[in-house]
Structure 1
Amino acid sequence: MSFPFRDLNVHASPTQYTFVSPSSPNSPALVIDRPSGDMRLVTNPILSGKRVTSSAGILGMIQLALDKYIIIITRSMLVGRIQGHSIYKVQATEFLPLQEKALHDEEEDAYLRLLQTHIRTGPMYFAYTFDLTQAFQRQPSLDKSLPLWQRADDRFFWNRYIQSDLINLRKTHAAADPFILPVIFGFVKIVQTKIKNTPFKYILITRKSRHRAGTRYFTRGVDENGNVANFNETEQAAIIGDSDSTPAPGFEKSEPQILSHVQTRGSVPVFWAEINHLSYVPKLQIRGVDAAIGAARKHFDEQINLYGDNYLVNLVNQKGREERVKRAYETMVRNLVSSAQEEVEASEETSERFHEIEPTEKRRKEDRLHYIYFDFHHECRNMRWHRAELLLDQLKDALEKQSYYHAAVKGDHVDILREQTSVVRTNCMDCLDRTNVVQSMLARYALTRQLQNIGVLTPQEATKQFNHFELMFRAAWADNADVVSRAYSGTGALKTDFTRTGVRTRRGALADLSNSITRYFRNNFADGPRQDAYDLFLGNFLPANFASASILGDRRPVLVQSVPYIFLGMVMFLFMAIVAPRSENSSQIMLRVFMVVAFGVASWCAYFVKTHGMLYVNWPKLNTPAFATEGINEAMGKVRKDPVIGQWIKGHERGVSTNSIRLIHLEEGKKRIE
């Protein structure tokens, strides 16, 4: 089996890039011709060009509007070792263009900035000899003779698209395998710790799916292929008796014990969206549940094939706007399972504390779904977050039946002692804050049970009784929560004071308020480029098909664009008029007239922006959502009727579709490339 090269020297010349591994001098070199991008493997290459840099690996290759680029990892950081395998985090990359360009292109530079920001801010991890994309339980069943990238879980192979050229080369040249390096997007924490007298390695890994990836308000629900937004698999593992640890009770030092437990999270699998229009609460839109049954069935069939029974823990609010999402989810489950049986438990103040839906027959695959609604919002209000343990009590029978993965490693052989047979799939509206609290609670319960079963803890003991471990555990899960939240919402997670300390504090509530306000501004004014970066990196948008200098530009009429700037100018004038010193000879009447006019203009601008809010959201420009296109066209129709500025923008065609614009851009792009 061939593992990826640990080191690559890059030699550049005007006609080619040559990648050679100093530690594997007998292996073929990878030669990429310039500017065509043709690739070949060469034994004993002539290194005519200058050595550009050393690289930890090739992240991939991507074709933009005018050129193709090789993305190499120039700096990585060791985050820990798993069973002797080093795990690294990508810290810096470099883009190597295939063409020598004397002039810069505005659109090309914009694409590059999107990609560079995505890679710089996106936490990406890799290993040369360990498959980070697969959970511990799945790894023994994989074919060890296959190269690392062919064993990777396609969902979590984050750079799969930009590795396409190398994968295509490998179809005819098996020696290309060491150049293909799988990378995950998510979180990895590896800590050497101990409980009582037993040292062990604590591992927490979150893998973000590359399917339907994106930002909070631009990717919700499920798509036609059964992929849901913000899907993450989180695995907690403990390795006892590794080479640098004491063996578990009753086991030899040569038999490391692997204990693992997996959870998932993902958006409610119906067709729904939240549409930004500058209000703090977006407009909720849910299509008919019947239309999404096929997509939801694809999603859950895959989840059942991968994980077994799915316990669907739903944490959305049962009142207010979230109630519609709750009802849609429950209707979907009723449609999928056979002869649904429902049980509702009320509390002293609400009609539903728990709502469970179970199939009464086992006729089809979807009868392995078990729905559990928990009124998190009401039960844990007023900072009573310890009451989330009510859900744990409700799930204990399922968790006992679910079990966990336990294996003893004897040299090259893995003796599987237990397997996890089901998974808890948790969601709230964003699958972030409430989900993080519940997942950390379930993870603590699972680890306590595992350590009790192998004799590290007695039946009366729990991990939270050991302060040094509990502090590390809480910090790891809070860090994980922040990473998952930043990838989706743009800010750290809410409620992490409870995750970190076990207590809900007023200081934490203030931090949550700050994060909520930051989320509002990011989600309305900054998430468009972030979504574009996701789509560009993952291959959901192909720049070469839409080569136009204006596709990333602002296509709104200049007058519409200028309204916020006029508002700011008027506010600044009013501020200066109030605070600036005045001479005795200045005309107070004229100043007051100007102030009244400025106040009137500012008020009109504020009213205009609020009324036509969809025109001021920073929407994705590469794959603009259909609901955004419809809303923008509707808003522009109203603007054209505006009594103040409508007559000045009638020259803009009404109802021009995104597809029509792209066709125009395509023709412009052809001329530009030529």
Structure 2
Amino acid sequence: MKPIHQSLNLYIDGDEAYTFIPTGSAGAHSLTIQRATGEIYLDQPNTTIPSSAQRYHKTIYGIIGIISLSLSDYVVVATGRELRGHLMGHEVYRATDFDVLPLNPNISVINPPHPVESHLIALVRSHWHGGHFLFSYEWDITRRLQAQWFAQEEDATKAIWETADNRFFWNRYMQTRLIDASTAKQDLSPFILPVMYGTFDIRSVFLNGRHFQICLISRRSRFRAGTRYFRRGIDQDGHVANFNETEQLLLVEGPPSATRTPDEYAYKMSFVQIRGSIPMYWAEVNTLRYKPDLQIMDLHDTLDVMRLHLQEQVALYGEQALVNLINQKGHEKPVKEAYERYLSELNLPKVKYEYFDFHTECKHMRWDRISVLIERLQEDLDRQGYFYLADSKPIKVQEGIVRTNCMDNLDRTNVVQATLAKRVLAQQLRTLGIIQESEGVDDYETLSKEFREMWADHADLISKAYGGSGALKSDFTRTNKRTKKGLLEDGVKSVLRYLKNNMFDGPRQDGFDLVTGAWIPRKNPSLALHLITDSRPLVTRSMPVVAYFALFMICAGLTLPRTSDYNLAYYFIIWISVLSAALIFIVLYGIDYVSWPRLLPPTDVIWYNGPGYRSADNGKGIKGWPIRVKNGDKIPTRGRGGLNGGEEIEMGTMRKRVD
């Protein structure tokens, strides 16, 4: 496989060009990007750098790609990295710092000439600095071991970007310009670095005289990417929200061999699981209430897109065991019923459904009840198996996969996936004779501790990426026990999630949509002024100010000298009434105070009134908003965070927009 340059020196030739020169590679081609035209080409080896060019003050550890905003194109580069570990003898890094370099010489990223451009640059920066991005220069971390092994012959002469799994090649959209410029005559592959959004952890264990490593990798799909409440369900291409492929690797040393290098392991085992949002059209609409309004949309193509999604998973992984963990009562019940109804109508081969009411079965901290689910899945797990290489020869192949979901595919899903992984790990260790048939992972404290911490860290990172806080129930994953301290920590995390999901996730979602290419700006920032302006009515915008001022006056009244209890009582009655009225207004019109995405606002979801189910219609005022909507009509949109007057979005569609 073609390697990628591990570090580059950047030379900036004034307003003319950016030139990237590989370090430590004598005779290697350098890469030049013309700032005026955007042309990309390779220089001849040992090309002299113009005397007017100045070296950039940071080392470049990889070109993330080029993104086009409203006034200029920008090159995003990785300027910081940390080593996360070695996998199969290859370094795996996390990108820790990024710089954004404008092609237009008249643009400054520090002080852009237009507020829309400044806003878009901030979205790009916050996205790359806020995620957990991983890469390797010599190993394709986007693909599971089994897929790599079966494609090794045809991949031998390819570059990593050519072999990368398109779902997990996070910066694929931003690398389009470099990929298109790469031809047989000028191969840019050494400069094209695939980046994965996910987790990576590898730990060494010495047990019963045997040395081995456990590695956990999670790969997040770039399709239908986003935050907890702004990306739910499925899209028209069959992609679901919060889709993650999780691979657990067991790498075990064998006896010394002349044909193996010290970095090679005699036995390699891989067990893969997936998670993803329930594959139908559904959403939870934020209204500032703790429980959002649940909405299920029975659209005409629901069965088609669900079939498309599940058939793709069967083609990729083999038979599917669909484990559904949501509640059979209360708020989540309609989602369960709709999911089961659609699956019954589809009746797909190689797709098996298994329901487990997690909260009911495990209530009162009876976490041992998860064993009930494991027993139900025992036959499926044995049949699906895991991938097993012994001295580079396949002994077993994983022929199916467990797809787990809850409402968010976070907390309950984390617990179940960790339990399944522990069961398979124990089976693998028994197969290799490292532990006895009667023993399990928890019988060895060192092994158990490394396993628990690895899965708990993995759960926290996935949860932060989607939900905005660390995972709930992580105390069980870390300690094998559910504790009162863990319940208290979960309460704090739940409050943090509520605040982030309602007040801060709009810009985060915009970052996802911009970087993955779901939304592409036009070259005219004046057409996108709605991104930085607040079109809400004055009375709506003023209510939080009124509430803050009333609260201030109440607090001030508590500190004033009391000349008359009678007058002070009237004082408090007036300001408490003002505060109450402002808070009631904010609650009644809660949708106007949610931080909505502005690039692709979910207006078609908020205003949907076609067939399906909606738990409530909160946040739109006492009598609802004065707009009548019919399914299929176009509607004016309004509100903070992109729901602006004058926009029009067709109901029941999810389309790429350009502004």
Scaled by the length of structure 2, the TM-score of the pair is 0.89
Q: Which residue pairs with 2:55 in the alignment?
A: 51
Q: C-alpha offsets along residues 196-234 of structure 1, whole Å, 9 cap, x if unaligned?
A: 211111100000000001111111111110000100000
**Residue equivalent to 2:42:** 41
CA RMSD of aligned residues (A): 2.5
Partner of 1:610: 587
In the alignment, is the contact (CA less than 8 A) between 1:289 and 1:332 conserved in 2? no
**Contact 1:216/1:430 (CA < 8 Å) preserved in 2?**
yes
Deviation at 1:42, TM superposition (A): 1.3
Say whether residues 1:422 and 2:400 are aligned partners.
Answer: yes
Given that 1:114 and 1:532 are in contact with CA atoms closer than 8 Å, whether structure 2 keeps it comes out as yes
* Distance (whole Å) between structure 2 residues aligned to residue 375 and residue 180 of structure 1: 45
Check conservation: 1:198, 1:247, Cα contact below 8 A: no
Q: For residues 57-72 of structure 1, what are the structure 2 equivalents within 5 Å?
A: 57-72=62-77
Distance 1:181 1:546, change over 3 A: same
Cα contact 1:407–1:415 (8 A) shared by 2: yes
Aligned to 1:93: 98
- The residue aligned with 1:355 is none
TM-score (norm 1): 0.87
Show CA shifts across 1:320-347 (max 9, x none).
121111111111211121xxxxxxxxxx
SS in 2 for 1:367: coil
| Aligned residue in 2 for 1:137 | 146
Per-residue CA distance 1:280-321 (angstroms, 9 max, x = gap): 111111112763110011101110011000000000001112
What does residue 327 of structure 1 align with?
337
1:558 aligns with 2:538: yes
Distance verdict in 2 for CA 1:276–1:30, change over 3 Å: same
2:445 equivalent to 1:447? no
* Whole-Å separation in 2 of the counterparts to 1:290 and 1:473: 45
Taking the TM superposition and a 5 Å limit, the aligned residue runs for 1:337-352 are: 337=347
Query: Contact 1:28–1:175 (CA<8 Å) still a contact in 2?
Result: no
CA distance in 2, matches of 1:390, 1:442: 12
Task: Give the Cα separation in 2 of the matches to 1:205 and 1:416.
Answer: 21
| Gaps in structure 2 of 5+ consecutive residues | 609-616, 627-634, 649-658
Q: Distance in 2 between matches of 1:256 and 1:95?
A: 44
1:394 aligned partner? 376
**Is 1:8 matched up with 2:3?**
no
Query: Would you say the 8 A contact 1:275–1:627 is kept in 2?
Result: no
Q: Are 1:630 and 2:587 counterparts?
A: no
Which whole-Å deviations, capped at 9, do the CAs of 1:374-423 have from their partners, x for residues lacking one? 121111001111111111111111111111111124xxxx3111110000
Q: Name which of 222, 247, 270 aligns with 2:234.
A: 222
SS in structure 1 opposite 2:308?
A: helix
Distance in 1, matches of 2:280 and 2:218, equals: 24
Residue 453 of structure 1 aligns with an amino acid whose one-letter code is T
CA contact (8 A) 2:287 2:619 kept: no
Partner of 2:188: 176
Q: Which runs of 5+ in 1 are unaligned?
A: 338-365, 642-653, 664-672
Whichever residue aligns with residue 573 of structure 1, its letter is M
Distance 2:274 2:606 in 1: 32
- Aligned counterpart, 2:553: 573
* 8 Å Cα contact 2:72/2:107 also seen in 1: no
Q: What is the CA–CA distance in structure 1 between the aligned matches of 2:173 and 2:286, rounded to whole Å?
A: 30
Q: Which residue of 1 aligns with 2:351?
A: 369
Distance 1:236 1:639, change over 3 A: closer
- Inter-CA distance 168–660: structure 2 relative to 1 (3 Å threshold): farther
Alpha carbons 1:270, 1:289 under 8 Å: kept: no
Mean Cα displacement is larger for which, 266-275 or 167-176? 167-176
Structure 1 position 211 matched with structure 2 position 211: no
Aligned pair partner of 1:619 in 587, 593, 596: 596
How far residue 455 of structure 1 moved from its aligned partner, in angstroms, is: 1.5
Which secondary structure state, in structure 2, belongs to the residue aligned with residue 46 of structure 1? coil
The structure 2 residue matched to 1:123, chosen from 123, 132, 136, is 132
Q: CA deviation at 1:24?
A: 2.3
2:561 corresponds to which residue?
582
Q: Distance in 1 between matches of 2:323 and 2:200?
A: 24
1:489-508: CA deviation from partner (whole Å, max 9, x where unpaired): 10000000000000000000
Task: Give CA deviations for 1:410-465 in whole Å, capped at 9, x if unaligned.
Answer: xxxx3111110000000001000000000000000111111111211221111211
Rate the CA distance shift 1:627–1:602 in 2: closer, same or farther, 3 A. farther
Aligned-partner residue type, residue 437 of structure 1 = V
Residue by residue over 1:552-582, the C-alpha shift from the partner in whole angstroms, topping out at 9 and shown as x without a partner, is: 332212321110111011011111102x141
Cα distance change, pair 300–612 in 1 and its aligned pair in 2 (3 A): same
Shift of 1:593: 3.6
By relative contact order (CA 8 Å, sep 6+), the higher-ranking structure is 2
**1:612 counterpart letter in structure 2:** Y
Amino acid at match of 2:98: T
SS in structure 1 of the partner of residue 187 of structure 2:
helix
SS at match of 2:85: strand
Conserved? CA contact 1:219–1:229, under 8 Å? yes
Please list, as runs of the form range in 1=range in 2, the aligned pairs for 1:253-652 lying within 5 A after superposition.
256-288=266-298, 291-337=301-347, 366-409=348-391, 414-544=392-522, 547=525, 548-578=528-558, 580-582=559-561, 584=563, 591-627=568-604, 630=607, 635=620
Is the 8 Å Cα contact of residues 322 and 352 (structure 2) preserved in structure 1?
A: yes
Contact 2:167 2:223 in 1 (8 A): yes
